[in-house]
Amino acid sequence: MALTTKEVSLKYDITSFFYDFFEFPIEVLLFRKWRKELLKDVNCKVLEIGVGTGKNLPYYDFYKVKLTAVDISRGMLKKAKNRAETKKYPVTFKLLNSEKLPFKDNSFEYIIVTFVLCSVSNQLETLKEIKRVLEPNGKVLFLEHVLSKNKFIAFLEKMHNPIMKFLTGANINRDTVGSIKKSGLKILSEENLALKDVFKKIVVKK
């Protein structure tokens, strides 16, 4: 069963103390280059959902980007704010639930979501909100880890999910591509990045 939004935010308040340390090896090995590639052409009004400790921030071109970054966890958001202040990144931070965004329809040209759909309480509610606040010609860029189509990998993911959920708040057993399709968003591209089809880059539009 999925954690409630309150439980997710509490979990990440705790996780915020060790998140960067815990993720450091995979960040250096894989995530950094994926983030850089993902964000290279992003411009105009951008919303980042689940900004976490702000690991994407160094890869935005702030001459072209007006960034609003939201997260449900005070702890994670505090780390992201510190990072932005230290590096003088111009970001508007908001403590918000992605399942109920206070923005008008069609507000953003780009929406960035990296490793977040694994932890939101309700994927479909978040995706519905993403669709609503995305500009008609806008794009949503995802990096996600999802449930593999390979039976053996999927078995391992399901087996390890309770411990991952307990330790970090993230689920590794979600059919995220299925949820994106269900939300009515249209998949423009879906690229497998690592561990066969577990880590993916997905680009979608309305």
Ligand X SMILES: C[S@@+](CC[C@H](N)C(=O)[O-])C[C@H]1O[C@@H](n2cnc3c(N)ncnc32)[C@H](O)[C@@H]1O
Residues forming the site for ligand X (CB under 6 A): 5, 8, 12, 49-52, 55-56, 70-73, 76, 97-99, 114-116, 119-121, 170
Q: Which is nearer to ligand X, 49 or 147 (CB)?
A: 49
CA 203 to chain centre: 13
Phi-psi region of 27 (alpha: psi -120 to 50; beta: other; left: phi over 0): alpha
CB of 63 to ligand X, least distance (A): 22
Q: Which is nearer to ligand X, 114 or 148 (CB)?
A: 114
Cα distance between residue 147 and residue 182, in whole Å: 16
CB of 79 to ligand X, least distance (A): 9
Q: Report residue 161 as tokens.
A: 């999910």
Q: Which is nearer to ligand X, 50 or 138 (CB)?
A: 50
Cα distance between residue 177 and residue 45, in whole Å: 25
Cα distance between residue 87 and residue 101, in whole Å: 27
Q: Which is nearer to ligand X, 9 or 151 (CB)?
A: 9
CB of 5 to ligand X, least distance (A): 5
Burial (Cβ within 10 Å: 0-12, 13-18, ≥19) of residue 30:
middle
Q: Which residues contact 88 (CB under 8 A, 6 or more apart)?
A: none
Q: Which is nearer to ligand X, 47 or 177 (CB)?
A: 47
Residue nearest to ligand X (CB): 52
Cα distance between residue 7 and residue 9, in whole Å: 5
CB of 64 to ligand X, least distance (A): 20
CB of 92 to ligand X, least distance (A): 15
Q: Which is nearer to ligand X, 56 or 148 (CB)?
A: 56
Pair type for strands 108-114 and 44-49:
parallel
